[in-house]
Structure 1
């Protein structure tokens, strides 16, 4: 069942900035970047116009997912400090408007990508939308502390979409990058969840720190970092990339692992530990950007 609209604030007039906020621009930036890198790392140079259409469709699809996520979770957002000023819980927009906006963006992005570029890329985009909205947001998030583990696949699809748009197929390298992002998501998100745990507890969301406790979450952050490190470095020894990516992967992943050890092996809740969690979260964002940037640099410079 969807949240009841009666739990939200009285509706005030929305403006264009509220519709932009529905698309979660910061999340969209990361999605667009990994999709662009997947396209640029492909062995086939895509037509610039079709490349622009691909990135636009990825952005629009991601924005639609954000809008549908906010539509469904409006009742949760009003209980959390970091989300209570979003358009729906703040009462600046009616829920049906967010639903219609999100559905329009999602459907349009898939149709345009399929008609203008290729069916495979559109099918992967459609799968990523369904995974994020239905599997993660509607099915898993309120039911299991492992929601982000399974739902993390939604954020791993853009590199596959970009590659498929350029080549019309799926090869080993984008699959490895999919695995990398999929395994990166739990330590990234749980390091955030550790220092916003009171928000999730107040909203009744069964995030791992709320259900299993902080010590168990820190251990999971460390444990998931191990296979993530393998997936991050694997393209180099498998000869899918060259030394530029390989060197960046070894150095950056080594630092990520160090930060994850500091988080995962501590049992103290003190200012130093909280700083370590914030450092891991912030570095994890930079890490993903630089890793995908190194992938493109490797392909463009070393071929």
Structure 2
């Protein structure tokens, strides 16, 4: 009885986003062992392979031929191992590959992801903006109307928002961010990540817009924008129920303790209750 041949594996291999030293030992090992490389850009991939003295057959795989070449790669994966790589960073994150990976799962072909460089996560980790909850939105639309609509939709998003942007559109995008999210919205602009001229700065949206408007910031390569989530600054009203509790506790406790106990009961800020009690006390003395 003949043994059933095992399918090959699809390896998701991240590549450096700037500094070539950021490639992992495992990535180099995998690229040396696989049979083919599915590449977003032949020239960029060849440069990487030459750097590490790797010689492999390259299959073109970009957004214009993704549908067509997915079937070609699936056929080869019946008995060959293939690595998927993008121009830079982790494949399928705003790059071609989703369709291929989905089809691999359907055909019971094992997908092996390697950890590695990703511009969005690299920038987020050093942004100074909360990173426990975030959403990644990819590139902002090139058309201004669509771009403004996209920015408007995330105005009340409480999580941190991550966008990619290109150097020739950044000035227009910053203008739209100021208009739709307000000039004081905190954001981090990360450029030239992992390179010599790397810059990661936390400031207001208006600060960055002004810098670019005056041409005092010049960028090459992709930019990562980390925008702080919406914060509801409306103060919780002191209801009649809360006031009643304050009046009951006030004769028994100090103002500070009265405010503290009541704040814990109603989940309201202690300072606002203390200020209310103090104001009330001063008015009563008049």
TM-score in terms of structure 2 length? 0.31
Larger radius of gyration: 2
Structure with bigger strand share is 2
- Whichever structure has more helix as a proportion of its residues is 1
